[in-house]
Structures are given as structure tokens and as C-alpha cells.
Structure 1
Amino acid sequence: MPRFSIIVPCFKVQGFLRECLDSVLEQCYRDLEVIAVDDCSPDGCGAILDEYAARDARVRALHLPENVGLGRARNAGMPYAGGDYVLFLDSDDTLTPGALRAMADRLAEADDPDVLVFDYARTYWWGGTRRNALARVLAEAGDAAFTAAERPEILDLLMVVWNKVYRRDFVDENGFEFPPGYYEDTPWTFPVMLSAERIVTLDRICLHYRQRRQGNILSTTSRKHFDVHDQYERVFAFVDSRPALASWRPYLHRKMGEHCLDILAKPDRLPPADKGEFFRRTARMFRAHRPEGAEIPAELKALQGGYAAYLVQRQAERAGQALGRRALAARRVAAGRVKRGWTTLHARRPLDPYLAVYSAFSHRGMLGDPAAVFRKAREIAPHLRGVWVVRDAETAAQLPDDVEYVLLDSLRYRQITARATFFVNNVNWPGGLDKRLGSVHVHTHQGTPLKYMGADLLDRPGARLGVDVPQMLRRADRWDHSLVANRHSELVWERAYPCHFSSARTGSPRNDVLVGAGPEEGRGVRERLGVPDGHTVVLYAPTRREYRRGGHVDRIDLARFAEDLGEGHTLVVRLHPSLATGPARGAGLAELHRRGVLVDATDEPHAEEVMLAADVLVTDYSALMFDYANLDRPIVVHADDWETYTAGRGAYLDITAEPPGHVSRSYRELAWLFASGAWRDDGSARLRAAFRERFCEFDDGRAAERVVRTLLLGESMPAREPQVRLPGQAAGRDLLASS
């Protein structure tokens, strides 16, 4: 008996069917069967199913003699399902890699619950991906099993059949089946979820829900939407047959009203001539099923009146919304005038020679190089007043109590930035900030550049998607000083940003804590991350990929890597900041962190602290490697898509030719490096020494002090003589050397 029976109904999806079936059959978890139901499809679906069934014994192809619709096609597959659990997969959707393994692990962990609810992401025909907006509900549910009554918010999720797996015995015991119709998910999902005694969640994107360009049948204009009334009648009938579920009637009554009014409000769902009939049928049903004494929410009171009154109410709502939009636009115009006037007023006053303004990572808090400069300025130049620019009140709440801040684009922000003499940032300031004569802008950057930046992106159209390079350069024209940690960076920034700044060979201030740090420096961070004493910490820090929309590509099976590292190792993963709030976390990382398979350190605010906690860094093309090299600890470069990456983004040097440690070109090679211990052998140390000599050139632990004394205070400071080879001594060193 297989663990999973996956039922796939098929009708007019020949263009998507192979991708759907491959996503199932290529799963690393193999204990499954596929019951594919050809719902008398007029295209090539039936032939495709026969082809797959002939070459894979796990596939059974059923051919229905007539078209019966999605729900009854699922029913047709049920008698052939012999698995412990049943999953219904629409034939234009796909499972994500590793999804079934994650489901199987979660089911075993939860001791075979009735229902497992997992997460999904919408994938759009134009290439975009968006995670379920209510994914937090899955995470907040915790580890223990529950009922819908204990966590009613589980019913706020999209009420569909395909984001769940069902214990087959539970389905059989309750006689659940799909009725005919187009809203067939409704009379399946509500009875199942209300009846289940043990529900668990999986906070992982296991399915890609394809959003087709012309939508599905429920997004078309048709009388088929009247089917929703029959389906809710079935839901109420089910509840009436189960006295224990009577308490759910008020909830279902409200849900039905909201669902029907939502259909009615959409301009492209019902033919205009049918809207009145749809409203009247909804109103009759709403009255018929109203629980005694139930209070009617304000948004549903329209169903107590007639259709004409509803139209008047809708017209009034639309007029109010339009008026609100006009009022909001007027307020914005007025506020803009006030802010510009406020800025002009303060710009007429002299600069404050002791006022410094800081920002980092687009105003996300006290982080990176600017934070290191700020702390050092407080120490050696307490007469300088430092003010941080933050994007919102939530970010401000994370600042230490004694740190002064202003909210971006507030009147206070306008006043402070109009008077400040010093500006320190690792991202360009907003375009509306004018550089005053006498002000000093210090740009710290975000590390040593490997991939193309600035003007060099102009011949890389894929890499500069959404990036306005000319605007970027106009903002860079405000820079007075560009901090560099090595001569490679100096050459790159002067080429990538052809502006009138001077390069300051200060080193990277944020790296001061890394220079000369011993193994004890990261102990506190390891304890915070939950790393057991004596474990070897392997930090995996991948970067984003411009050749893939959204930037996220799974290059490593994290669960497999954590397992292959073996006892005595802890895998810590830190995603690129641009991926932290996207679907990348939900692709498996969050679930593996919850189960203790690895540690997700993406939300740790200070990358330097995570690096201090690591014994070895595994990365692909992240600039983090240049910082980590200051620790003089092993580095492994996993470059399995180097040619693809450089073709899309471009690189200033071939990191596989002059790496900071051993290079792996496949997962097999990566696993071997750790299994054999080669990741920390003499060869690794020699490569790291050459890399450090070149790219840690100006990092001596005093970079922040150097910035404060020389650039903010105008003092002199003894220069550190770097013990490095001069650029050009080695042939083919990087792309700049030959340009």
C-alpha cells in the first residue's frame, strides 16, 4: 500500500499535463501512486496519460466515456486509490521539489492526522510567483494537531481541495464525495474541515497554483456561478445531519453571504441581465438559513432588502470610494507642498557642522557599515550628533532606546536632512534629497563586488530588470567618498559609477569585528541560534539569480545536505536579504527550521554575528565571502551554475579560477568535500591565504575609526601598508585588468 494516492483529473490541459505529472513522478519521495482520470478530454490528454502509464507502473490511466466535470472525475479515481493518504492535484498545477517528502515527514511526526493543510504559491503566466497571503496561519498553528473549532482561522485559507492531503480511512468513514457542479470544492472542504478531529499544518510551499492568462471557469462571465447556491445548500444539509456541528451555522451563514456578494460585486462574473436574479436567490437563501437570533454583519445587511436598494448602496459605496480617492490625492498634493516648503525653509539655514545622518539597506535599521561608523563616532567623537533615517515605526521600535531617529519623508526628516553636514549610507539616498554645498556624503557600499553593478548593467538587460541605471548614477553624483576594502573594489566602483567621488581606502567598517576574531567571539550567537556545544557550524549563504524571475533558485537540497553533514554538524542558512520576504522561505526552509533539521538565520539582523558563529562558509557568488575571509576560516564555493550566472549578470572576476577555497561543481562534489574533510585541508588554506591577501587588503580592524577621523573629523591617521601583490602581477586576474 503506497503512502500517497494522487488523483489527477484531466480535461483540455494537454499543454500543462506533462509538467504536472513530471512534478509528481520526479519527487525524491517514491512511495506513491497516480490515478490520472481522463474526463473525456477532446485533446491529447488521454494519449499522454497512456504514455505515462506505459512507462511508470505507479501511474494508472482511467478514461471516462463522457465528460462529468472536475468533482465527479475525482470521485471516479477514488475507488482505485489504495494509499494511506489522498491528494487531489489539478492537472495544470505542479508539486514543488521535495513536497511529498516534507508531507510524509510531517504526517509521521503528527502520528497520522485526519487532514494536513500545506501552503502554495500562485505562479502567473507572465512568470511571477506570489506566496499565499495567509501563510502565517500555517506557521502560527504550531506543531500539535487541532480541530477547526480550536483554530477557526484555518478556515480563512482558500477553501479549495488541492491544498490538503486526507487520510483515506477518514474520508471513507465519513462518506465524503464531490457533487456535480462548478463550486464543488465548497461542499467537500467545509464538511471535511469541520469533521476532522486532528488537523495539522505544513508551513511549506508544496504546490504551484497556475494562474492561467484567461483564468479558470470560475473567473469567466457565465450563469454557471449560480451553482454556488446549490453547493452551500449541500453544506447546510451536511451540518443539519450532524447535530454536533450545529454551532457552525452562524459562521457558514455569514460565509455564504460574503461569498455570494463577492461574486456579485465582481464586474466580470455574471451577465448584467442575471445579476438581479442572483441577488434575489442569494437573499432568499440568506433568510432561509439565518440562525435564530444571529446578528447580521453590516456588510451583509443589504441581503435583507431588495435588489434596487442593493444597487443604490453599491452606487453610494463606489461614489464614496471615488470621493475618498480624490480626497486622498488632494491631501497628498497638499502634504507635498508643505514638505517642499519645509525643506526650503530649513535649507536657507546654515549647515549644522556636528549633525550626521545615517541609513542602511533602504532605511531598514541600524545595520552594516553605517552602523559601525555610527558606533565608532559615538565613541571617539561624542560631539557629533547622529540621527538614523528609518522607513516606519516598526523599524524604529527595533532601535536602541538612546538612538535618535526620524521617519522617512516626515517633516522632521526634511528638517534634519536639510541641515546635516554628513550623510552615511550603503544605499543611495532618495532622489528628492538635494545635496547642499558643504555637505559630505560617504557611501559605504555593501561589500566587495563580484557581479556587475551600476553602469556595467547597461549591457545586461536581464540583470537590470527594474533598475533605472541613469537615475542610480544621478543619485551617485552626490557621493563625496566611496569606501573600499581593496584595490579591486576601487577599480570597480570608479568604472561602475563614473561620478566625481574620491575612493577612500579605509576598509569595510562592518568587518572590524571579524578581523582577528577568535572562535570564542561567536559563542553568544551560537547559543542564541540553538547550536549544541561542540558542533561544527556550516553556514550556507546563497545569493539571488537574475536569470530567474523572483531571484530564488534551489541549488541544494537542504534537508539532504544537513543529513549528509552528519552528527556533530549544524547547518545554518542565511538567504540573500532580497529573498527574505518572498516565497523562498516557504519553499522548505521554514519547515526544516521548525523541525530542527537546520537553523534559518535569514532574519538575524547582523550578518557579521552569523559569520562569527560559523566554522565554514558555503556560498555560491555572494559578496559575503569577501567579508568572511577576514576570519581566516574555510570557505567552499558551490558553483554549479557559474556559466549561467555570469551569462545573465556578468562578473568582474572568475571566482572559480581564483577562489577562497575549494570549488564544487555538483552536489556530489560538495558532499565529498565535507565527507572527506577536504574543505579544511592544506589546499583550502593556501587558496584562502591568496584570496585574503588580495581582498582583505585594507581591512585591519580600524576601518570605522579611519572613516570617522579622516572623513568626518578631518584628522590624519597613519596608513596601513597592505602586504599584497600589485594589481596586474598575475595574468588574467579579473575582467577589469584587461579592460
Structure 2
Amino acid sequence: MPRFTLVVPAFKVQGYLRACMDSILEQDFDDFEVVAVDDRSPDNCGYIFDQYAAQDARVRVLHLPENVGLGRARNAGLKEARGEYVLFLDSDDTMTPGSLSAIANRLSEAGDPDILIFDYARTYWNGRVQRNQLAHLLAQEGPASFTLEQRPELLDLLQIVWNKAYRRDFVERYGFEFPPGYYEDAPWTYCSMITAKSITVLDRICVHYRQRREGGNILKTRSRKHFDVFDQYERIFAFVSEHPELDRWRPELFRKMIDHYITVLDRPDRLPADSRSEFFRRAAADYRRLKPAGFPLPTGVRGKKYRLLELGSYPAVAGVKAANKARRILAKRSRKQVQTAKRKLVNAHYRAQLRLPLDENLAVFSAYWSRSYSCNPAAIDAELARLAPHIRRVWAVHASDAHKIPEGVDVVHVGSREYWTAVARAKYLVNNVNFADSVVKREGSVHLQTHHGTPLKTMGLDQQHYPGSARGMSFRKLLARCDRWDYSLSSNRHSTAIWERVYPCSYVSLETGYPRNDVLINATAEDVLAARRELGLADGTTAVLYTPTHREYEPSFVPRLDLVRFAGQMGPDTTLLVRGHYFYDSSPELAALRADGRIVDVSAHPSVEKLYLASDALVTDYSSTMFDYANLDRPIVIFAPDWDVYKVVRGTYFDLLKEPPGAVATTQDELAEILNSGAWKDEASAKLRATFRERFCDFDDGRAAERVVRRVFLGQSDEELPPVVPLEERTHAPAPSQALARV
């Protein structure tokens, strides 16, 4: 029998689940089991749980046949528990290092009491950590084990279940279970606390309680579900009635109940406006029905609220709230003046356009900060023209980059009256980065964030830990921009989980694949050869595409590859296609190699996908091109001469040298040896590539753009979309040698 069972239910938390599980499994105390409960989560929570179970025998997974909610998911896990003590951990929270050892030691010191209470801290998206404000109640003073009679103030702690360890035989003896509905922790917490014969405390932060910005805490959702609180306290008082020996706790429980009701009423984000008076009436009825004889009213403002509730006069309460609101408005006047000044900077024309109706058949596209017609937005644009030609498509482009846009594409110049008209009136706005802060998210508009790569390097909120890469970024403003998203595209589960965690906003993740990669699956032999002819590549030439990435923490570009020497090392039958850095200095030798066709500068080529098709292999350092190129199942070589610096300064999500898509070189000579010896395309490299593709090419099957258009623009359900073709059943564009053999 393990010492602990940790029950971890999960529903739509894939972005946080790995951190939660790692925080448990990396504890220095290992006498425990984890019962992981997949509450029929529509995302990849069940898949992630299964991965952990396959790697660690301490993890058992329950896949529930239907979604039952947090409380009943915990019940399902509890039934499978075998530990002496049971702990519950929400799947977006984490345990701090050494917590299980500390809990085990304290339980032994206290003689294995019924309940141990430990402390927690709230953690925020901006890195702030705030300890429980009632931490002083957990002072380890007096006897190690005691009764609630000796320390009744412990009932004032937040009514949560995950800051405690419970003796399993104690739980089973009294049949404690979680009820359905909101506030399910209240009956369990209060009933178990007043029933326990022995309690101990641990003055240590054992859980980091994640405060998610959007959509994480259902209790902050405006809904009639908050009426569930009445049923929960009805259960608590019914339990007390069934156990007369607990009757002395009625005054304390009544106080907790009324405080809870007042909290719901005081929070404007909880109840719909037309439900507030009804909630008040029900709360007042409970007050009169359950008030213990001789109950003393609190003093101060809180006592006034008790009296108003007892009187049952909602108009009086509304009047008090109105007066308080007036005071708050006066206090905020100075801040409002600042906000008004900012609003005045918004173009008057734009404000006028925002008052006009949305154009249901207008879509505005942008890519790479309005500098080009490319990437996922361009692929969606093309598919939209095919499937929904009634929707007019307009591209936002800076005037200085307008010459890069293909003929026939409708363009508005960023900052012009036409631009502000388009972004104000468009039903759909599509971008692979964020639109400017000044673009307003209108009710009824649809913002589609396509992204432009799979993350190896840290992104979003994770960059807070790597200030060298953030370069003064305002993360608050970043999240305000992301709040406009309605949809976020993903090409693999890895990306979905990261996007949802580092951009914690209320959007829907669409695991459609990347539209820009459709061509890598669907291109024909003729397409491959046409791409090579466009670059002037001879049929027998081995074309190596080199895509170095920029290091944000460096003030200027530092070449890691000596192109002139490298071309000499490779011989005349290899052409190096260099993309991504115009920072390479020109030289007579480099100019000669370019003139000879040995080196081709493709930095300005409008379509990186055509470069993929034309090449025989990819050489890159940390660029996301590796993830897209893997869809072609062609050789990839990693050239990582500064990996140790990059991973520390920029931050990465996995160790590229340990999990590469092919052969790895850390010096130029090693790279030349890999390419000259054939190691770049041998069996070992193919095996690494297969593992990499399985992990990062989940959804790119050639129909991503179609899925996006049908889902976002045509309103089809997920069930109506083309299903993703399994990786082992997919085809892809032929390699250049195969293309030559077919034509």
C-alpha cells in the first residue's frame, strides 16, 4: 500500500498538465501513486496522461466515458485510491519540490491524524507569487495533533480540498464524496473538518495555485450555475442533522454560508443581472431558516450586510451598492481621464467606421507584420477563394512592401483610411502575428490567429524567464492583443499545449494542421521540378537549404557558417540555398560563388514552401523550418554550434541535441563531414526523423486550409470537417530524385 494517492482530474488543461504531472513525479519522495482522471476532455489531456502512464508505473489513468465535472471526476479517482492518505491536485496547479517528503514527515510526527492541512501560494501569469493571506493560521504551535475544537479558526481557511491530505480509512468510514455542481469543495471540506477526530498543520507552501487570466476558473464565469451554492450548503446542514454530535458547529457553518452568499452577490462577474434579486431572495430565505438561536451579528460593514440580508430587502442592498459604485467612480476619475486622452488619439475616421455594421462578407488578411503575402494566411486566402468566393479578401500591407504582393491581390496600405475602414468593418481578421494594439475587437467579428511556426524556443509568457529574448516586451499588452483571438491554429499537440499555456486567453484551439504546409503534401513531381528550375538548379545537383535563425539577444547577426569555406568543403555538385539572413557580408569570393550558382541567396524568395520542394535536404540551427520540412520526410541536419548558450539565454522546450530530426553537428567541419560521408541520409538519420515526424507532424495531411475555411468561415462543426489522415497513411511531395524518375 503506497503512502499517498494523488487524484488528478483533468478537463481542457493540456497547456498546464505536463507541468502538473512533472511536479508530482519529480518529488524526492516516491512512495505514492497517481490516479489520473481524464474527464472526457476534448483536447489532449487523455493522451498526455497515457504518455506518463507508459513511462511511469506509479501513474494509472481513468478515461471516463462522459464528462461528469470536477467533483464526480474526483469521486471516480477516489474509488481507485490505494494509498494510506489521499491528496487531490487540480491539473493546472503544481506541487512545490519536496512537498510530499514534508507532508509525510509531518504526518509521522503527528501520529497519522485524519487530516493534514498545508499551505499554498497563488501564482500569476506575470510571475508574481502571493502566499495565502491566512498562512498564520497554520503555525505549528502546541501539540502536533489536535481537534478542531482546539483551533476552530481553521474553518476560516478557503474551502478547498487540494490543501489537505486525508486518511483514506477516515474518508471511507464517513462516505465523503464530492457533489455535482459549482462550489463542490464546500460540503467535502466543512463536513470532513468538523468530523475529524485529529488534525495537524504544515506551515509550508506545498501547492502553487495557478491564477489563470481567462477561462480557467469557472467560478469567475457569469452564470446561473452559481445558484448551486444553495444546494451545497443544504448538503452541509443535512450532514450536521444526521450527526447530532456535530450540532455545536451550526453557528460557524451558518457564518461561512452567509459570507459565501454575500461574496457571490458582491462579485459582478458571477450572477447575470436579471438573476441577482432572485439569488438575494433565496439567500435571505436561508438566512431566516437556518440562523441559529442567539447568533451574534458581525460588526462593521459586514454586519450591515448581514442585517440587510435578514431584512430581505433587495432594494436597500441595491441602494448601498449604488452608493459604493459612485464612490468608486470618483476614485477612478483621474485614471479615466488618462484613458480618454488615449482614446482621442484613435483616428476619428476609424471610430466612425466602428459604428457601422460589420460586413459579413469581408476578410482582412495580414502576415509577418503586414510585410508580405505568405504563410498560413496566404494558404487560407487561396482556399477561401475556392470554397467561399462570396467573401471578399483584402490584404493589409505596408506601402513600402506593396511591391512584394502578387498581382490580383486586393491591398490596403496600413494606416490609410482604406485600411481603417477594412479592419473596422471586416467580419474576419486573419493574421500570423498580432494586429496592432489600436485594432478593436468588435462583437461579432472573428479573429483567427494562425501562428507561423512550431515552438522550439520559448514564447509568450514563458519569455518572462528569459529577458534577453523579450527585449522590453510588455506582457500585459501582449495578452491584451491575444484576448482578441477567437481561434488559434495548431499543427501538432506540442504546439497546442504551449499556445494555451503561454497565451492564456479565451480562444478555441483548432488542431487543423498548418495550411501553408498543404503544398508539401499535395505537390506533384512537376511542382518539385518547376521549383528547381525557377532557382536554376541542374538535375544532378544536390540542393541544401540553409536556414539560420536570428538570436534576439545579439545586437547584430553573427554568421556561424563560413559560406565560402563551406562551399569549398562540399564540392561542385552541391548548391547551397541560403535563406534567412541578409546580414551575411558580401565579399569577392562570395560574389563569385553566387555567380557560379554554387550559392544561391534565397532570402527574399516569396515562398519558403517552394524552397522546401526544390531542396534535397535542410540544414538549420533552431529555426522552426525543421518542423515544416519534416512533412516532406527528407533529410534534416542540425548545425548547432552555440546550443549551450542559446538554450540558456533564449530558453527552449526540449533538448534539440538529444531529440533531433536527423544528424547533429556542432562545428562547421562536423557539418561538412556529415554531408560528405552520407550520414545526412543514412538509416540512423531516417530513424531520428521518423520519431521527430511522429511528434511534430500530427495534423499536416494536406487538407489543413480546407478544415480552417470550413470551420471558421463556413461554420461547419468539427464532425463535418475532413478527418486528419494518420501519419502512416499520408503521402507527400516526391523528393527531387523521385520527381526526375517520374517525368
Compute the TM-score of the two structures, normalised by the length of structure 2.
0.50
Compute the TM-score of the two structures, normalised by the length of structure 1.
0.50
